[in-house]
């Protein structure tokens, strides 16, 4: 962290220590402080005050439920993936499948890194990212393979998939199956779903998982059917020219769901449906391009490239909005004395976050760097929760969660940074009218 940043975070920031040497944070017990600390939605406890604990029984039941749900989902995803891989093995043989697996990993690393780069203000939990990947690779592919195979048998007596199978049935089946993965994340962990960026990231991961398994099928099949020359052509088309195809289609659904979570009323239901319909149309046009002369190059240049550019623009603008939300909401907490203004500015700036982690590592080693990263993520989670409370779209129990996050943030920042300066007029955790 630059010296100027360190000075801004330390100058005049040390509050008076309470009895026994423990810093309990700003004193909010003066007359009127309790009223000032309240918003229309929730009252924030004073810095350093313990948050209200959840009943142990409720917490135990919730954890048991989460473990059970995770186990069931893991079994379903594993079963689906094994089913699909068994079919691919039967068609193409072990050696071809091994080659297909190795080549299919390359675009996964490239595309996955792009989505993780986008998700830097509040990194999504690894478990949910794995759930999205597993759903795309195990559940969505199994559903698509079963439905598409039956549809082809009914609609294509010649055995060659035709326009209806590829242009209508496959897009509808695959996009709906992938969209259910994003919905599953939303249902299971609503509190982790803050808006468009999260919708893009989770949808992208579902699409990556689906594309990975599908690429194994196509790469191994190409090797068996035409040798290395056909494999090379297939690899270039799918992994070099259009590695974002499946993730891109699903991202459109993710944008719709991401917009919906911050809205109320009819739009909350119409936006995801609209996103799904757009994804189906894009996917259908993409598949149908194989039946027209110059269809693929034309669709790629006229449709795929502009849509890709549009999605990138939406994602970048959404991430910029996340930065503004972080700054606005953390400024409120700074006025209340939970963090300093410099810390609020640091969390809302990606370059400053990197500098802060480097500073923490230089002063305290790897544990301090990990603590700083945890503090940044925790502050981001708190700010986005506060934004949902402000909008009236927060989940049940959000007010209690806000108090717990504030308490955890206060304890963590005390390990790394000086205490914020006491304030004469504490501001509540909510947004001032």
Domain end call among 276, 291, 306: 291
Query: Which phi-psi region, left, alpha or beta, contains residue 161 (left: φ > 0; alpha: ψ -120 to 50)?
Result: beta
Do 340 and 194 reside in the same domain of the chain? no
Question: Alpha-carbon distance 186 to 382, whole Å?
Answer: 18
Domain end call among 249, 276, 291: 291
Predicted confidence band at 413 (pLDDT cuts at 50, 70, 90)? confident
- Write the CB contacts of 399 (distance below 8 Å, at least 6 apart in sequence): 41, 42, 389
Q: Give φ, ψ of 108 to 5 degrees.
A: -60, -45
Please report where in the chains the tokens 């209508």 appear, as a residue.
Answer: 168
Do 89 and 152 reside in the same domain of the chain? yes
Do 286 and 336 reside in the same domain of the chain? no
Percent of the chain with pLDDT over 90: 30
- pTM for the full predicted model: 0.75
Q: Which two tokens stand for residue 72?
A: 């069931």
Question: Alpha-carbon distance 159 to 152, whole Å?
Answer: 7
- Over residues 172-212, the pLDDT tens digits come to 999 999 999 999 998 887 777 778 888 999 999 999 999 99
Do 216 and 114 reside in the same domain of the chain? yes
Domain end call among 291, 325, 359: 291
Mean pLDDT of the chain: 79
* Angle made by CA atoms 183, 188, 189, in degrees to the nearest 5: 100
In a domain, residue 207? The reply is yes
Per-residue confidence (pLDDT) for residue 261, from 0 to 100:
83
- DSSP H helical ranges for 238-299: 245-260, 267-288, 295-299
Do 327 and 282 reside in the same domain of the chain? no
Range(s) of the domain holding residue 381 = 316-433
Do 155 and 189 reside in the same domain of the chain? yes
In a domain, residue 257? The reply is yes
Q: Are 256 and 275 spatial neighbours (Cβ–Cβ below 8 Å)?
A: yes
What's the whole-number mean pLDDT along residues 362-374?
A: 86
In a domain, residue 42? The reply is no
In a domain, residue 248? The reply is yes
Do 254 and 322 reside in the same domain of the chain? no
The domain tally of the chain equals 2
Q: Are 406 and 45 spatial neighbours (Cβ–Cβ below 8 Å)?
A: yes
Per-residue confidence (pLDDT) for residue 83, from 0 to 100:
93
In a domain, residue 188? The reply is yes
Do 106 and 222 reside in the same domain of the chain? yes
Q: Are 253 and 180 spatial neighbours (Cβ–Cβ below 8 Å)?
A: no
Do 251 and 342 reside in the same domain of the chain? no
In a domain, residue 95? The reply is yes
Question: Alpha-carbon distance 112 to 131, whole Å?
Answer: 14
- Write the CB contacts of 61 (distance below 8 Å, at least 6 apart in sequence): none
Do 277 and 200 reside in the same domain of the chain? yes
Do 125 and 175 reside in the same domain of the chain? yes
Question: Alpha-carbon distance 194 to 186, whole Å?
Answer: 10
* pLDDT, greater one: 250 or 399: 250
Q: Dump the DSSP string for 228-249.
A: HHHHHHHHIIIIII-TTHHHHH
In a domain, residue 11? The reply is no
Long-range CB pairs of 302-305, under 8 A, 24+ apart, other chains included:
304/242, 304/245, 304/248
In a domain, residue 397? The reply is yes
What's the whole-number mean pLDDT along residues 92-97?
A: 93
Do 219 and 348 reside in the same domain of the chain? no
Q: For residue 430, which of 394, 396, 421 has the smallest C-alpha distance?
A: 394
């Amino acid at each position: 962290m630059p010296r100027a940043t360190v000075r801004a975070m330390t100058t005049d920031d040390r509050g008076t220590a309470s009895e026994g040497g423990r810093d309990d944070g700003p004193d909010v017990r003066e007359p009127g402080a309790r009223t000032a600390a309240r918003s229309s939605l929730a009252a924030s406890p004073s810095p350093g005050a313990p948050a209200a604990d959840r009943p142990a029984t409720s917490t135990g039941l919730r954890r048991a439920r989460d473990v059970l749900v995770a186990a069931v989902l893991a079994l379903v995803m594993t079963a689906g993936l094994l089913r699909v891989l068994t079919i691919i093995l039967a068609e193409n043989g072990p050696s071809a499948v091994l080659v297909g697996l190795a080549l299919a990993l390359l675009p996964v690393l490239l595309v996955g890194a792009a989505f993780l780069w986008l998700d830097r203000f509040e990194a999504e939990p690894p478990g949910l990212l794995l759930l999205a990947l597993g759903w795309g690779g195990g559940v969505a592919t199994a559903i698509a393979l079963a439905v598409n195979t039956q549809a082809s048998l009914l609609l294509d007596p010649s055995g060659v998939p035709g326009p209806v199978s590829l242009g209508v049935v496959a897009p509808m089946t695959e996009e709906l199956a992938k969209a259910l993965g994003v919905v599953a994340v939303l249902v299971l962990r609503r509190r982790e779903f803050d808006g468009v960026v999260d919708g893009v990231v989770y949808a992208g991961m579902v699409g990556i998982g689906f594309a990975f398994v599908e690429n194994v099928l196509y790469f191994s099949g190409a090797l068996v059917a035409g040798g290395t020359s056909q494999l090379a052509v297939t690899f270039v088309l799918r992994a070099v020219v259009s590695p974002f195809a499946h993730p891109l289609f699903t991202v459109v659904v993710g944008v719709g769901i991401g917009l919906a979570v911050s809205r109320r009323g009819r739009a909350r239901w119409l936006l995801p449906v609209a996103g799904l319909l757009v994804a189906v149309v894009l996917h259908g046009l993409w598949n149908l391009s194989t039946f027209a002369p110059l269809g693929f190059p034309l669709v790629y240049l006229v449709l795929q490239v502009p849509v890709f550019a549009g999605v990138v623009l939406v994602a970048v603008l959404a991430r910029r909005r996340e930065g503004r939300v972080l700054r606005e909401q953390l400024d409120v907490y700074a006025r209340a004395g939970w963090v300093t203004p410099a810390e609020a500015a640091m969390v809302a700036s990606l370059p400053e976050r990197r500098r802060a982690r480097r500073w923490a590592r230089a002063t305290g080693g790897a544990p301090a760097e990990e603590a700083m990263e945890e503090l940044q993520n925790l502050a981001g989670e708190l700010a986005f929760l506060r934004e949902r409370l402000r909008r009236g779209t927060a989940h049940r129990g959000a007010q209690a969660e806000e108090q717990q996050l504030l308490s955890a943030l206060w304890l963590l920042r005390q390990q790394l940074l000086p205490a914020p300066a006491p304030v004469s007029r504490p501001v509540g955790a909510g947004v001032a009218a």
